[in-house]
Structure 1
Amino acid sequence: MRHLFLFMCMILPFYAAAQLIRGTVTDQESHLPVQGANIVSASGTTITDAAGRFTARARFPDTLRISYIGYKKMVMPLASDPGTELRIRITRGTITLDEIFVAGTRNYRKDSLSYRTQFKKEFSYQPPKLTDAVGPARSGGRGASLITINPVALYSYLTRKSARDARLKRRLLDDEANRFIDHWFTTGKVEQVTALSGDSLTLFMNRYRPTSEMVRKLNEYEMIDYIKRSAVTFRSGK
């Protein structure tokens, strides 16, 4: 009990001297809130919420260090209690990731072109129409109208071959889409941005795997921002 009393006597002055400061972090250009930004002071570390807000302890004079991946780090000296909520705007900057060595890295664009060439017939497949099998012919005289029949096209139209070819094309397109996603949403990139590993990394990769349409709309900065925001949600258990 005596040791606990002495310990409390030691830390109470520290907490008494520290004061709570509040603020909001937004993007310099869009003015949108930045979620998950790190706020570091001499008294500890906190992160911004979905609205970009934060509450931190500071001992004046103190220095706030604000950082978020994809943005330039910001240092804000605080000589005294600002008295009002801080309005902090951070600027986008160059993203630098640690080097990742991957043995046997393939050229995605070259592989994609090769894949398209290899299955050119399947990718260009169009299901047969009835007009491909049956069409008008020259008049047979006396006002009679004749038609021509393409036996091969008619057979394809009437059998399941066309459905089978359509399913094959769909599978090839799905496979190509997955290759495209894997090229941009890599395990190495996610691991470095989130610091996840093992089963947690596998679960995150499966749960937050983007669609090919989403990947096409995002640039590199936006993809990393998506991973970062998803990691905040993932760690919160939502």
Structure 2
Amino acid sequence: MKPRLFLLLLLLTLKGFGQPKPLEGIVFDKESKERIASVSIHDLTNGIAIYDNLKGEYQIIAADGDILVFSKQNYRSDTIKVQSRAQLAVSMVRLAIQLKEVTVHNTTLTPDQKLEATKNDFTKIYGSLAYGDYLSTPYGGGAGLSIDALWNSISRSGRNASKLRDVIQQDYEQNVIDYRFNREYVAGITGLKDDKLTSFMFRYRPGYYTASTMSDYEFITMIRANLRRFLRSQRTYGLAPLVSK
């Protein structure tokens, strides 16, 4: 073997012995124990910087005594000194506590649910005092007078119950309107805010029949048509802005 070739092989062999073996390991969340991807791993000693893979695994050229810094957004950076060639498992701590998912249910009652709750609170006026049909069907057929309806028409308790039912029905109808024609919904369609939104909703508040029978498309079309009228009236009757001299 020629001396020059021998020296070349010797240098390559020595270089191979001097090259440190890649350090392998994984990175995981200390709390959840789940692996963390895209963690920056920087060897401060030799300047090499890499990222771990999607499985949280990494390989980096590092010698014993090298200082490795593991960092990722929303995690506390961790600094480790390489002491052996064994696989290195690094646990990282979140900067903020990870809250468990919470499902929030809408607790707002619909008008029908409110009416049902009211009926449960006033069971008597919707029970024996609720009879309003004067005609009854007696045993054996034919039509006869309903004793309950007749009594309720002349008794104070029956008349009061009837009035209370009327009040509850009126309240229910207003709840239906408020439920559908609410500020957030109208503001989203019209783009109006504050006093203008209040004025618009007061002026163009729909009736119970409209609110309870119109489809969503018809209801939105009505609001937009009223918005055009409202804006025209604002331009026509609005006061001119004050000019300071």
TM-score (norm 1): 0.42
Structure scoring higher RCO (CA < 8 A, sep ≥ 6) equals 1
Q: Name which one, 1 or 2, has greater alpha-carbon Rg.
A: 2
